[in-house]
Amino acid sequence: MSAASIPCARVRRTARGFTLIELLISLTIGLVILAAGLSVFATSSRSSQLSEVETQMNEDGILALNLIQQQIKQAGFSQQLIPSHGATVMGNYAGPAVRGCDGGFTDAAAAFDKLSCVGGEGSDAIAIRYEATPDNTVPLLTDATVATNCVGNSILPLTPTQVSPRPTPAAGTSLPDLYALADNRYLVTDAQTAPMLSCRGAEKRNTANIMGAPQPLLANVERMQILYGVASRPSAELAAAYDPLLHQIVDYLEASDVDKLSETIEDRWSRVLSVRVCLLMRSDRPVRDVPEGGMAYKQCHNADETGTDGYLRRTYTTTVLLRNRLIAP
């Protein structure tokens, strides 16, 4: 049959398009598929951003803990050991290895034995002292024989009369005339705006060591809380008669409680055998789609908190033994 003989009605039925209902159904299906795709993309994008932010925060937390841990391990270090009263004690620097403050130092530039505390619920601070050498500090590019402080500035070697106390050497031994004493103070600065772990250390200024200005070390450290593991007696007394039982840590105390142990700074802070550091880290940027009640996290004292500014937060904790305060038999 030729095309010319097909009835007109049949031709019209063959050539007709979509009806309005069919078009609306097609559009609806397409929109549903598009919405599902956008939802999957948004969820995937948010998960990817959240994972990236968490990874960066974890790296920052680990770096900050490693830095503090490395410094605390050196606390009380002395390059020369001498026998004294049946035990082996530090020959150059024998004073307190650490000094802490709840809420931070009132004046972080004050002398070690004159440091006073702000108190309260703010971020803690800690001062760390040890004999500095080119091997346990970052050497200067211009002079690899010079010891440096926590921000890389040189330290002037001191004479025995400038550092106290000094142990009495055993018969036939002597102490060196000069050595460099690292005196570094770690604290959290700009906690509300741009939180970071900072340090200020004694550095060479003409003929003396002067406490330098605080310098940032690591960003996104919002809070630092520190507990101190104490023995029943100070290290100076432990040296008189070696007894491994006296090296046991009997309690973990806040700095304000350590200061209540005895009358002198020398006595109470020489009891510290370990330091437990907790850092509250904040993400480097806010995340999208913050839940309606905020972002939940744990404080260092294990209390539940909620942040409403969109930043992720997490605590990182480590306990460091002051190995240079453990007197060897």
pLDDT tens, 79-121? 765 555 444 555 567 778 899 999 999 999 998 889 999 988 8
% of residues, the chain, pLDDT over 90 = 36
Q: Taking the mean position of all CA atoms in its chain, how far away is CA 207?
A: 33
Average pLDDT, the chain: 81
Interval 287-318: pLDDT, tens: 877 777 788 899 998 889 888 888 999 999 99
Find the range with the poorest average confidence among 9-23, 47-61, 105-119, 229-243: 9-23
Number of Cβ within a 10 Å radius of residue 128: 25
Range with the largest mean pLDDT of 106-115, 140-149, 176-185: 106-115
Whether the pTM exceeds 0.85: the reply is no
- pLDDT value at residue 167: 54
Q: Is the pLDDT of residue 325 over 80?
A: no
**What is the pLDDT, as a whole number, of residue 6?**
52
Confidence check: pLDDT of 162 > 50? no
Ranges 110-119, 144-153, 249-258, most confident: 249-258
Helices (H), the chain: 8-15, 20-74, 235-238, 255-258, 265-269
* Average pLDDT over every residue of 61-65: 92
Residue 161 has pLDDT above 70, yes or no: no
Of 137, 243, 228, whose CA–CA distance to 181 is shortest? Answer: 137
Residue 19's pLDDT is 79
Please give the Cα distance from 242 to 188 (Å, whole number). Answer: 38
164-176 pLDDT, tens digit each: 555 565 566 655 5
Note whether 256 and 284 are within 8 A (CB).
no
When pLDDT is averaged across residues 123-142 and rounded to a whole number, the result is 89
Instruction: Tell me how far apart the alpha carbons of residues 211 and 34 are, in angstroms, rounded to a whole number.
Output: 63
Confidence of residue 184 (pLDDT cuts 50, 70, 90): very high
Using DSSP bridges, classify how beta strands 87-90 and 81-84 pair: parallel, antiparallel or unpaired: antiparallel
Please tell me the predicted confidence (pLDDT) of residue 176.
57
> Residue 121's pLDDT is what?
83
What is the pLDDT, as a whole number, of residue 85?
46
Nearest to 56 by CA among 314, 291, 319, 317: 314
pLDDT on residue 50 = 76
